[in-house]
Amino acid sequence: MPISIKTKQEIAILREGGKRLAEILRAVAAEVKAGVSTHALNDLAEKLITERGDTPSFLGYSPSGAKRPFPAALCVSVNDEVVHGIPNETEKFLKEGDIVTLDAGLIHQGLFTDSAITVGVGKINEKAQKLIDVTKKSLSVGIKAVRAGATTGDIGYAIEKFVKPFGYGIVRELAGHGVGYAVHEEPFVPNFGKRGEGVVLKAGMVLAIEPMLNEGGAVVKLASDGYTYRTRDGSRSAHFEHTVVVTENGSDILTAS
């Protein structure tokens, strides 16, 4: 399938959707406190998305191969959960010292944006803060590699090279992706790779870039709920994601807060 190029008008809509999504993630993150349930965070995200006339893109989404649609508006992944944690099926309350990834997508005037952040609950230890800081930085390093004429491999290479000295595991099974007309589009944007490999980027492509880093090994396992990925070794994981549009000289972040 050819990789879609979004028009100027579509990019303007994505920019407004991305701005809204950033505001919503910030508002939900502000409610991350010890004793708060993941369910409450999901309800807040859903309310904030829908009250402005937008649609949560994850709720009811059926990825290929899934046995059932995703049941929530927000993914909430705590500690060793990497991504796609389901916030509204089991009673789960956040504890001081946890780290929590909030990942959401919305549809604004028919167009999709996607963004994620990892935050601490109350006071977190130095190791957890470092994992969060390095993961956040690795996203900006990846985004800096984006421009027309660069490749998806250049993005992965930049992230991998930056992360390597820290010794964190880079999740390989899950990756960034095209976005805009759907939750997931081509191309696949891995967080590792070789320069010059993969898909050549063109101005107007819209990508979700999303490094996931584990304190321990890179290997993840899928839980029996069919969605939640955890680190196999039980180590903690962090995740940051922005939706960006490729430009001639670089990129614009559409979900910047």
Minimum Å gap between C-beta 184 and Mg ion is 7
Residue 116 interacting with Mg ion (CB under 5 A): yes
Q: Candidates 8-16, 36-44, 89-97, 108-116: pick the segment binding Mg ion (CB under 5 A).
A: 108-116
* Residue 80 or 103 having the CB closest to Mg ion: 103
Minimum Å gap between C-beta 83 and Mg ion is 7
Residue 74 interacting with Mg ion (CB under 5 A): no
Residue 114 interacting with Mg ion (CB under 5 A): yes
Minimum Å gap between C-beta 232 and Mg ion is 21
- Pull the structure tokens for residue 231: 């680190």
Do the beta carbons of residue 254 and residue 244 sit within 8 Å? Answer: yes
Residue 45 interacting with Mg ion (CB under 5 A): no
Beta bridge partners of 238: 213
d(CA 221, CA 228): 8
Do the beta carbons of residue 103 and residue 74 sit within 8 Å? Answer: yes
* Residues shown for the chain: 257
- The DSSP letter of residue 69 is -
Residue 46 interacting with Mg ion (CB under 5 A): no
Pairing mode, strands 251-253 and 169-170: unpaired
Q: Which of 208, 212, 218, 245 binds Mg ion (CB under 5 A)?
A: 208
List the 237-239 sheet strands across, edge first.
169-170, 212-214, 237-239
Minimum Å gap between C-beta 241 and Mg ion is 5
* Residue 106 or 141 having the CB closest to Mg ion: 106
Minimum Å gap between C-beta 252 and Mg ion is 17
- The DSSP letter of residue 165 is G
CA distances from 134 to 67, 162, 228 (A): 34, 9, 23
Minimum Å gap between C-beta 6 and Mg ion is 16
Q: Candidates 31-39, 91-99, 103-111, 243-251: pick the segment binding Mg ion (CB under 5 A).
A: 103-111
Q: Candidates 5-13, 23-31, 90-98, 207-215: pick the segment binding Mg ion (CB under 5 A).
A: 207-215
* Residue 185 or 241 having the CB closest to Mg ion: 241
Alpha helices (runs of H) in the chain, residue ranges in sequence order:
8-29, 38-50, 126-144, 152-163
Do the beta carbons of residue 41 and residue 87 sit within 8 Å? Answer: yes
Residue 160 interacting with Mg ion (CB under 5 A): no
Residue 103 interacting with Mg ion (CB under 5 A): yes
Which residues in this chain contact Mg ion in the complex, by CB under 5 A?
103, 114, 116, 208, 241
